[in-house]
Chain A
């Protein structure tokens, strides 16, 4: 099925307001799909669904290379629409990057080599799964440190509560005083 083929949004350029410091990308509008646009998209999809089913019998659905490209690009972040994977992104740059990934796969490069190619150019930012290195120790292990601190605090709190609540038996001295107080009270009361 080739649902993703449906071109959802036309190229509406120059959306960025003048003076904005945001770098621009061709078809930058594809990031921001409005209500109306998504409605149109749904209609288009409904309409084309029958067509694509018919098509599927003619052309092979996805070959091995397609699957490899998709699997790899699902681990990568699109730099234009930063919360989209490269696989999902319709941005022009994403298409270019996917083309390069495909070419390099055809040339026999391994996934690791292709990831290195991309991180050399765009940094670790393109990886949805950041590598474990000194700079990312806090990112990877910070949550466990926080969890440890939280547990430590919790145990300390529980222990201190237990000490506070614990029944402290009266000493002999205190017993004697209590009895005296009770006696004097009971003697005075009827008077």
Chain B
């Protein structure tokens, strides 16, 4: 009995520490979930004379993937994006973040292009509007232009199977 209280306090501390271990401090939850996706109109990567705006995607469920040729983790997730685009479940649009146009085009030519199209965010302004703080990041946006999910860091098969694909089919209903 004498040791019960310190023991309980200690176990409580252990529980908190274990929870703390499992959390990634680099994952900052986005306040933009369930908020309208910030509007943008940017020049397209491959056709700089044309623009693309988020408003054009009204009525569709789509993914906005933030990537750059200087980002190594983007290379990791690239095969999964390619596979996803082959399956044609959800259109993927690319936000090429603070990259050189020719670098990005070469990167896509090299590794394959999973994007319907990419837009260039050369000075990172739109990325800031979306609360981007690293690449890659991916936003799932619904038919009404509302952000429903944000993946921080590379997309993995697990995230695709457990979260993104079920949400896409749910949102497409």
Contact = CB atoms under 8 A, between A and B. Distances in A.
Interface stretch (A13-21, A58-66, A159-167, A172-180): A13-21
Interface in B131-146: 131, 133-137
B76 A19 contact: yes
Given A100-B125, A121-B31, A123-B28, A22 B73 contact: yes
A7 B68 CA distance: 23
B73 A26 contact: no
Among B29, B30, B131, the most chain A Cβ lie within 10 Å of the Cβ of B131
B172 to A, nearest CB: 27
A100 B31 contact: no
Contact of B128 (A13, A22, A121): A121
A96 B76 contact: no
B29 A24 contact: no
A96 B31 contact: no
Interface in A1-53: 13-14, 16, 18-26
B90 interface: no
Among B31, B133, B152, B156, the most chain A Cβ lie within 10 Å of the Cβ of B133
- Interface size bucket, B side? 20 to 34
Nearest to B28: A125
Main secondary structure of the interface of A (DSSP, over half): loop
Contact of B134 (A23, A120, A125): A23
A113 to B, nearest CB: 15
Given A82-B25, A92-B98, A23 B31 contact: no
A114 interface: no
A42 to B, nearest CB: 29
B71 interface: yes
Interface residues of A, number: 27
A123 B75 CA distance: 28
Given A123-B28, A123-B29, A96 B72 contact: no
Contacts of B152: 23
A24 B131 CA distance: 14
B119 to A, nearest CB: 17
A97 interface: yes
A127 to B, nearest CB: 12
Interface in A103-140: 119-125
Interface of B: 24-26, 28-32, 68, 70-76, 98, 123-125, 128-131, 133-137, 152-154, 156
